Structures are given as C-alpha cells and as structure tokens.
Amino acid sequence: MNKLFFMAFVRFGMNAYLSGNYDKAEGWFRRIEAQEPDNLSVLRNLGIVLRAKGDAEGAERYLLREEKLYGKSFLRHAGLADLAYEAGRRKEARQRYALALAEPEMGPEGSVSALRPLMEKRLAICGDEKAFARTRQSIELFKEAQALRAQGRGEDAIDRYLESAKLDETNWQALNNAGTIQLNVLGQPEKAAKLFEKALKISKSVQAARNLDFAVKSAAGGKSRSRDESA
C-alpha cells in the first residue's frame, strides 16, 4: 500500500476509535489489512478495536498473531493478560501479568511504569482464588449495567457499575462508564468528574483522562461533552 494512503487510513481509523465509532475504525483498518495482513499496526489496532467492540476472542487472535510474528513484549503480555483476566483464566492471567511486570518498560524509569500499581494489584488478585472469584461477580454486574444502559435506565446502570467497581478495585471501566452516564445523560458533570478522576487514578488511561477533561470543562460552564468514551 502507498505510504501516504497507509498513514491516512491509520489516522482515520484511530480518530474513529477515539470518537467511539468502533465499526468505522474497524473498516479503515480492514482496508489496510486487505493489502498488508501482517503489518504490526494493523494487527495491534484491529485487536484494540475488536476488544472495544466486545469481541474478546477476535482481539486475542490478533494479539497472538502479533506475538507470533513480532515476538514477546510488554504490550503483548499486558493485552493478553487483560483478556485472560476478563475471561476468567486466572493462572494464565497471573503468568502474563508477571511477564509484563518483568519487562524493561515496567522499571522505575520505564515508559509505562505508571501502570505498575494496577498490574501488581491484578497479579495479586490472580494469586488469590477468593479475590479472583469476586472479580467474576464484578464482571456479571458490569454486564447487567451495560444491559440497563442500553435500555435507557441510566440511574440503575450507575448503581450496577458502582457495585461492580466495589468488587474489583481494578475495574476502572465501571467507574468510567458510570461517569459517562452522569455527564451525558443526567447532566451532572461534577459527579461525573469525581468518577473519571477515580478511574484515571486506577488506570492512567487516556480515555479516562479525556473524559475527565470534558467533565471539568462542562462543570465550568463550557460546552465540552464526553464522546461517550466508555468501555
């Protein structure tokens, strides 16, 4: 593929992803994949987009293919660890988190050292059967919250998200999603900002940071609005 077209398609795909338009994002990356199926950017971004769409199996296939072609790395260990954690594969998740934590990026001066506390918490949870069992309850509550949200029952969904977050202290997505409802549906930016702030403290996520910025600006009287950046 022509380099300029490649760069443009990647940019269009990432813009769509960050705007929450996952179908459109997938479409752009599929266009690149048709000509460069083994391209690192294609494999990684399709994995990210499919995970955002709820296709965990599809996301895992792309991550494993990326690992097979390009070798082991922090990002691959971390991504596969999260997928195993969410799927309930405790021992596999524990192994992958341990490998991710051992990578140079996780060192004191590493590029992603800020994520170390979150990963250490997940590693500890994976080593405790009872704690891990609570995360299964957390995931079920999260699913209930998602269904309630889809039904337009925002306040009930918030309650479920917060219950979910209590059962798994690493579940920043539940706090983030509750915040998007507070901001976009209920029009309560101050409450939303508190939830986004908690989510950001746990995850150091760009998504949570963007939502927090929207909420703070909205509370100050601006017209900014979260782009519904929920997990």
Cα(211)–Cα(103) distance, integer angstroms: 30
Contact status, residue 169 vs residue 134, Cβ threshold 8 Å: no
Answer yes or no: same fold for 3-128 and 130-219: yes
| Residue in this structure with the two tokens 């409802």, named with its chain if needed | 181
Low-confidence ranges of the chain (pLDDT < 50): 224
Give the pLDDT score at 222. 60
State the Cα–Cα distance between residues 43 and 50, nearest whole angstrom. 11
Q: Which residues contact 146 (CB under 8 A, 6 or more apart)?
A: 157, 177
Look at the alpha carbons of 142, 148, 151, 153 in this order and tell me if their dihedral is positive or negative: negative
Taking CA atoms, 229 is separated from 19, 44, 211, in Å, by 7, 19, 7
For the stretch 53-98, pLDDT in tens is 889 999 999 999 999 999 999 999 999 999 999 999 999 999 999 9
How far is Cα of residue 14 from the mean position of the Cα atoms in its chain? 14
Give just the sign of the alpha carbon dihedral 220, 174, 230, 157: negative
Q: What is the pLDDT of residue 17?
A: 85
CATH superfamily of 3-128: Tetratricopeptide repeat domain (1.25.40.10)
**Domain segments of the chain: what residues?**
3-128, 130-219
Looking at domain 130-219, its CATH class is mainly alpha
Q: Is the pTM higher than 0.85?
A: no
* HEC profile of the chain: CCHHHHHHHHHHHHHHHHCCCHHHHHHHHHHHHCCCCCCHHHHHHHHHHHHHCCCHHHHHHHHHHHHHHHCCCHHHHHHHHHHHHHHCCHHHHHHHHHHHHCCHHHCCCCCCHHHHHHHHHHHHHHCCHHHHHHHHHHHHHHHHHHHHHHCCCHHHHHHHHHHHHHHCCCCHHHHHHHHHHHHHCCCCHHHHHHHHHHHHHHHCCHHHHHHHHHHHHHHCCCCCCCCCCCC
